Structure 1
Amino acid sequence: MKLRIAVLPGDGIGPEVCAEAVAVLQALGLDLELHTALVGGCAIDAQGTALPDEALRIAQDADAVLFGAVGMAKFDKDPTAKVRPEQAILGLRKGLGLFANLRPVKAYDALLDASTLKPEVIRGVDLIILRELTGGTYFGKPQGQSGEAPHRQAVDTTFYTEDEVRRLMIMAFELARGRKKKVTQADKANVMATGRLWRQVAHEVREEYPDVEYEDMYADACAMHLLRNPRAFDIIATENLFGDILSDEASMLTGSMGMLPSASLGDALNRHGYRRGLYEPIHGAAHDIAGQGVANPLAMILSAAMMLRWSFGLHREAERIEQAVARALDDGLRCGDIKQPGTTVLGTREMGQAVIARL
């Protein structure tokens, strides 16, 4: 099987961590056809747009996409800029029809002391946050700011259709059937009409999955329970804004965002009959450490493992990567973001090579 992969490294530490993920894939002896393109801030500098047409074409022609990170400090300092690096990932989601973001959160025994939470709270945590990607507050209209100080005003609109909710909830129940058979739907049905729609549709879908346990939970209560008893969760399904917040909170169960991979999936299938997806670490471009060779590549490497599983059906190869990462951690190897007393701190390239050595 030839794996046609679009590699979109992006900005900041994106190119550094992407390089290590590609090196791990190459070490598995896979038949790779790699196509690289600029996206994000570097694409704005070079071509005036965050997602050039050529980059989108490469992504659409690929079986799967490996995506690093986007963002530049100069854009952070200018919130009024109309062309922004983040438009690259939003455009890719739309252009590829990606509506669901899977963010697995797994607590490694070797990293129990890296979290700010007590080891007895996070030991054994293994959950997935399933976030809707193409609707909600980030895309609803009207949206914008108007007026002049001191009378400025702004509006964001949260909008969902029944079909958008249903397809995500179906995916949540299907995922749960292959895991611990429990779905938690997080909303704000007490104060938001969209939350009530989510709850209504979720209840309709659950009737088709009598073998799966189901519960409704307000999103703010879910945030609290994620820290109080994270082992109680299996699949957390939620809308775009809440999923963004809850998944970043959940990263602290693992000790660092540098450990969390993600997959963005839709219904479209690739040439091999598997879901075309975009795979990326949940961390950002981290301008402050870019180019220093100290970024943690493990989330990107684990994202590549998710790609093998979801877009190519290569479960054994995905497990080899995941086991190699676990062995590197068990051997006391760390990057700076998860370093602990008595461990060996490695740079980006060194950690990538350590994983390859344990394949």
Structure 2
Amino acid sequence: MSSKILVLPGDGIGVEVADQAIRVIDKLNELGLDATYEKELVGGASYDANGEPLTSEVLEKAKQSDAILLGAVGGSKWDDVERSKRPEAGLLGLRKELELFANLRPALVFEALASASTLKDEVVSNLDIMIVRELTGGVYFGQPRGIEDTSDGKKLLIRKFIMIMKLIVLLASHLIWQEKETTKLLLLKKLM
């Protein structure tokens, strides 16, 4: 069964990155992968063409796809555009509508490049980490769930992220279980 990929190049370097990723998909298809892809507009490119950073048609195609390849969105060209129409609103709309709650950000150093780092070789040598970042709370989508009074009479806004944090920990744990070597899990929560 063929996998259906929606390619959303976006803006700026995202277009170049997506073009190169498509070359990789084409090569993998030659080697036996069974994937089809379709390119659509998102972000500033979509705003310029349609007046919206994410059209309902593209959102529907995203919902029908097996995977989405997103380049990058945004740029100074759209700095003066109304906030709800800025390129980033297209990305946030995708995250919200597709219920995407985490971003995986791998970081590793190839031995041949260890000396190119501004850090000492022994610090970055064999660096291999995965950052699992929560995407749906905080400033973008976090909803106030309650307000408490502090001892000095000020109001404290409380956001409850218990469920999403459980999902993040479960995802990170799943990634750890796939590793062959001993792996540590470190949980950081930004308070502000």
TM-score interval, smaller chain: 0.7 to 0.9
Is the Cα–Cα contact under 8 Å of residues 137 and 143 in structure 2 kept in the other structure? no
Structure 1 distance, partners of 2:158, 2:115, is 39
Structure 1 distance, partners of 2:37, 2:25, is 11
Q: Which residue of 1 aligns with 2:123?
A: 121
Cα-to-partner distance string for 1:239-296 (whole Å, 9 max, x where unaligned) = xx8xxxxxxxxxxxxxxxxxxxxxxxxxxxxxxxxxxxxxxxxxxxxxxxxxxxxxxx
Q: Which residue of 2 aligns with 1:257?
A: none
Alignment pair present for 1:39 and 2:42: yes
Q: 1:80/1:3 Cα in 2 relative to 1: closer, same or farther (>3 Å)?
A: closer
User: TM-score, with normalisation over the residues of structure 2?
Assistant: 0.83
Q: Which residue of 2 aligns with 1:22?
A: 22
Q: Which residue of 1 aligns with 2:177?
A: 177
Q: Which residue of 2 aligns with 1:135?
A: 137
Which amino acid letter does the alignment assign opposite residue 96 of structure 2?
Answer: K
Q: Which residue of 1 aligns with 2:55?
A: 52
Superposition pairs for residues 196-235 of structure 1, below 5 Å? none
Is the Cα–Cα contact under 8 Å of residues 42 and 53 in structure 2 kept in the other structure? yes
1:159 CA drift (Å): 2.6
Which amino acid letter does the alignment assign opposite residue 175 of structure 2?
Answer: L
Q: Which residue of 1 aligns with 2:154?
A: none
Cα-to-partner distance string for 1:125-173 (whole Å, 9 max, x where unaligned) = 011001111112322357xxxxxxxxxxxxxx77333211111111112
Cα-to-partner distance string for 1:44-91 (whole Å, 9 max, x where unaligned) = 111111111111111111100000011122223x38644210111111
Cα-to-partner distance string for 1:205-235 (whole Å, 9 max, x where unaligned) = xxxxxxxxxxxxxxxxxxxxxxxxxxxxxxx
User: TM-score, with normalisation over the residues of structure 1?
Assistant: 0.46
Q: 1:80/1:117 Cα in 2 relative to 1: closer, same or farther (>3 Å)?
A: farther
Which amino acid letter does the alignment assign opposite residue 61 of structure 2?
Answer: I
Q: CA RMSD in A?
A: 2.0
Q: Which residue of 2 aligns with 1:91?
A: 93
Q: Which residue of 1 aligns with 2:106?
A: 104
Is the Cα–Cα contact under 8 Å of residues 18 and 68 in structure 1 kept in the other structure? yes
Is the Cα–Cα contact under 8 Å of residues 4 and 66 in structure 2 kept in the other structure? yes
1:10 CA drift (Å): 0.5
- Identity, in percent, stands at 45
Structure 1 distance, partners of 2:161, 2:75, is 34
Q: Structure 2: any 5+ residue segments left out of the alignment?
A: 145-156
Q: Structure 1: any 5+ residue segments left out of the alignment?
A: 143-156, 193-240, 242-359
Q: Count residues in correspondence.
A: 175
Structure 2 distance, partners of 1:100, 1:6, is 19
Q: Which residue of 2 aligns with 1:70?
A: 73
Superposition pairs for residues 316-327 of structure 1, below 5 Å? none
Structure 1 distance, partners of 2:70, 2:11, is 10
Q: Which residue of 2 aligns with 1:187?
A: 189
Structure 2 distance, partners of 1:82, 1:27, is 38
Q: Which residue of 1 aligns with 2:8?
A: 8
Which amino acid letter does the alignment assign opposite residue 111 of structure 1?
Answer: L
Q: Which residue of 2 aligns with 1:230?
A: none
Is the Cα–Cα contact under 8 Å of residues 35 and 58 in structure 1 kept in the other structure? no
Q: 1:89/1:158 Cα in 2 relative to 1: closer, same or farther (>3 Å)?
A: farther
Structure 1 distance, partners of 2:160, 2:118, is 36
1:187 CA drift (Å): 2.4
Which amino acid letter does the alignment assign opposite residue 187 of structure 2?
Answer: Q
SS in structure 1 opposite 2:115? Answer: coil
Q: 1:46/1:158 Cα in 2 relative to 1: closer, same or farther (>3 Å)?
A: farther
Structure 2 distance, partners of 1:32, 1:174, is 26
